Amino acid sequence: MPAIVLALLLAGCANTSEDPPSPSTGDQPDTVDADGEQDPRGDGTDEPEEPTDPPGPLDGFTVVIDPGHNGANHTAPDVINEQIDAGGLMKNCDTVGASTDDGYAEHEFNFDLATELRDLLEADGAEVVLTREDNDGVGPCLPDRAGAANDIDADAAISLHADGGPPSGRGFHIIAPAEVSGHTEDIVEPSRDLGESVRDSYAEAADMAISDYISTEDGIHVRDDLGGLNLSTVPKVFLEAGNMRNAEDAALLSDPDWREDAAAGVAEGIAAFLE
C-alpha cells in the first residue's frame, strides 16, 4: 500500500477515537427571571422563601430577670460580704438567702422560677436576659445585677426572691423603689405600675394571698434600702414569691407544677405592663 494512503487511514482512525468537545459552561447564556434577576433554578421563578413565624405580642421588648442570690455564695464570704455603694448606702455585695425547712434553697427556687419565666416571655417574642445563667456561682454583686438591665436600657426588670419571714406568716409581696434623691426619681412611677400589674396577675395565677406579716400598701412594699432598686435606671421591682419558713407556702414554692402557674402569672403581669 502506498505510504501516503496508509498515513491517511491512520489519521482517520485517530480522529474517530476522540470524543466531541463538551460545550463550555461559560458559554451558556445566563437564565434570568421576569424581573431580570439571576434565576438559579432556571425555570423563570424565584426561590421559595422560608416561612417565618409571625411576631409575638412582646416582639421588640427586652426584659431582664434577676434570680436572687446564687448557689455558691456560701462558699465565698469574702466576696459576698464586701461592702459596696448601693445607691446612697453601703450594703453587702450579695447574701446567701433563705431556705425551706426541708432544705429547698431560695437561690434554687429563684433560678427555677426565673427559667420558667424566661421561656414564657421568649415564647411571646421578648428578648430576655438573666443576670446569672446557672445556680453554681457566686454573686453577681448588686451593681452588676442592676447594670444588666441598665446597660441595655431594658423595658422592664424583675428580681425574683422568696422571703424568710416568721413561720406563722404567709403570702407574697412586691417591693417597689422609693424615691432616692439622685437615683430613682425617674423609675418610681413606672416601677409602681409594673409592680401593681405583676401583683394582680401573680395573686390570681399562683393562688397566693398578699403577705399577712409585712406591712404593705395593697401588697406593694416601698423601700429605699435595696441596691438592686436604688441603682436601677429602668422600671424594676422585686417579687417575694412567698414565705419559705411557712409550711404551707413552702409546699407551694417547692412544687414544680405550682411554679409553672406562678411563672405564668408573672409573665402575664409583665406583658400587661409592656403592652
Catalytic machinery residues: 240
**Spatial separation of the C-alpha atoms in residues 140 and 132, rounded to whole Å:** 7
Secondary structure string (H, E, C) spanning 97-129: CCECCCCCEHHHHHHHHHHHHHHHHHHCCCEEE
Distance from CA of residue 81 to its chain's centroid? Answer: 28
Nearest to 14 by CA among 6, 2, 24: 6
**Spatial separation of the C-alpha atoms in residues 142 and 155, rounded to whole Å:** 19
Q: What is the chain's length?
A: 275
- Residue 220 to residues 44, 206, 238, 239, 253: CA-CA distances in angstroms? 64, 17, 10, 10, 20
**Spatial separation of the C-alpha atoms in residues 94 and 76, rounded to whole Å:** 10
Cα-based angle 59, 60, 66 (whole degrees, multiple of 5): 95
Neighbours of 221 (CB within 10 A): 18
Q: Which residues are CB-contacts of 126 (< 8 A; sequence separation ≥ 6)?
A: 56, 58, 59, 61, 62, 63, 274
